[in-house]
Structure 1
């Protein structure tokens, strides 16, 4: 349930106007994901910081995913870099109701301005870092400026860091832990989640002419380095199992780092890790027999996974 909209002077989480909080929550809920429900375990300040981080990621990702030439995407991504820099500067942001943010067409003017104000409040409250926002934008730029097909491992790992681990570095601070161990959780859990996503979305990515699996892994199993050829290869499951083993390695390293973190702060991270481990296990059981199909975890399996991850003893 979103915050109740009251008068213009009414304040809520992060000291932000209730109207701004409602606008940011609309951006999140419009995406149609279960993210908002997953963040319900957090106190209000942390929850709305995560909503603002998600809103930022969603809008930047929308730029990268558009069916448009890179020449039209690049100025918008650069505008996002400038927009983030202003959030970390001393410039006064537009007042509530006045708009004035660098507009992203995926959100209304009022939503753009509200997102900026809530993001700045989250940055100041939780010491979020500009370089992590910049890394997310750079990850989206990698996707926008060229079609990624069987990248070298160093490029693959950089993409995982920018597309997922950088989001994790922002998130763990909003969760309540800014320690080196929390950054280690972000490093490993981000890579584990991204690899799992890639293994789940092989068919969907191939339809867009993309193949994110690293060329070294594909080559070691004799899998063609093009999307269509890879999906038809009888040896693709072997390459996928090798990548699944890499994902499990990162899940295990993230678990070890979590044990050195604030336990309560890591509850959302444990939930995400448990949910994605279940996806990975489902993929491994299926064995990538039909890689063009997108598998999901049955609903009856998700509840005990979530309860176990959210338990203070889990």
Structure 2
């Protein structure tokens, strides 16, 4: 048995088989998440795998094909399963590792409920031009709530760490929205706030909106809003454990680079979604690791 797996199993009180199952969920997604979590101690790494598995499952319920009543039922089942977990009951590998993670890192049930409620916002009907209050609520539920759980798993439950989750979650989610406006429009979704769209007399229908040259103005405003959240998250990180929030720092650096790249390309049609080349991924990750170790705030 690999040493990190055995160590995590001993510390968390889980079977190695259960830990392997949650790791499979992460690796099956073929994201860079598993690689990024390698810098964590084994028990925190598998705790993040469990959190990712939960998020992946409820996100798939919301996004995959299926009728609305079934999706509501499946999400409600997960609310009920959370009640069971907080009563100390678990029935499968993901639940058992999630239970161990909840207990070890004192995770709050409401944060999990917030994530489910965020998924349900996408299920009820496609989000199209939400007002500012709804836009911020959505960002809080699908991103900052994940951050509130993650910083505890990373090892910092301070008020400052919770503020990092608040601001960094919003910064990351706005960045994702700005990179995915074309894909979202094709799915009948438009996450750009109604008030901003009306300011520039943009249509409130997804495809017509993203095909307007003036959507560039709205997206630039949101980009600056995201940058402000990046700045505030960095200020609160300075008050946190530098070792614990190392993964958050690396994530912030990576996404800020992505946002800068998208901002340079712009949002005028035809829209071009940016991504990181292999060289850029290596470079940004390397810079992030170095900066997180030496404690530079940038």
TM-score (norm. length: structure 2): 0.94
Bigger fraction of residues in helix: 2
| Match of residue 265, structure 2, among 286, 297, 303 | 286
Shift in Å, 1:302: 2.3
Aligned twin of 1:18: 16
Separation in structure 2 between the aligned mates of residue 288 and residue 132 of structure 1, nearest angstrom: 33
| Match of residue 58, structure 2, among 57, 60, 79 | 60
Alignment of 1:1-314 (within 5 A): 11-91=9-89, 93=90, 101=91, 113-290=92-269, 292-311=271-290, 312-313=293-294, 314=296
- Asked whether the equivalents of residues 63 and 73 of structure 1 are also in contact (C-alpha less than 8 Å), the reply is yes
- Asked whether the equivalents of residues 188 and 206 of structure 2 are also in contact (C-alpha less than 8 Å), the reply is yes
CA offsets, 1:251-302, max 9 Å, x none? 0000000000000011100011011001100111101134643221222222
Separation in structure 2 between the aligned mates of residue 291 and residue 188 of structure 1, nearest angstrom: 31
Report how many aligned residue pairs link the two structures: 292
- Asked whether the equivalents of residues 211 and 227 of structure 1 are also in contact (C-alpha less than 8 Å), the reply is yes
- Asked whether the equivalents of residues 9 and 19 of structure 2 are also in contact (C-alpha less than 8 Å), the reply is no
- Structure 2: segments with no counterpart, 5+ residues: none
- Asked whether the equivalents of residues 4 and 18 of structure 1 are also in contact (C-alpha less than 8 Å), the reply is no
- Asked whether the equivalents of residues 156 and 240 of structure 2 are also in contact (C-alpha less than 8 Å), the reply is yes
Secondary structure, aligned partner of 1:243: helix
Separation in structure 1 between the aligned mates of residue 5 and residue 33 of structure 2, nearest angstrom: 22
Separation in structure 2 between the aligned mates of residue 274 and residue 5 of structure 1, nearest angstrom: 29
Aligned twin of 1:110: none
Separation in structure 1 between the aligned mates of residue 15 and residue 257 of structure 2, nearest angstrom: 38
Aligned twin of 1:106: none
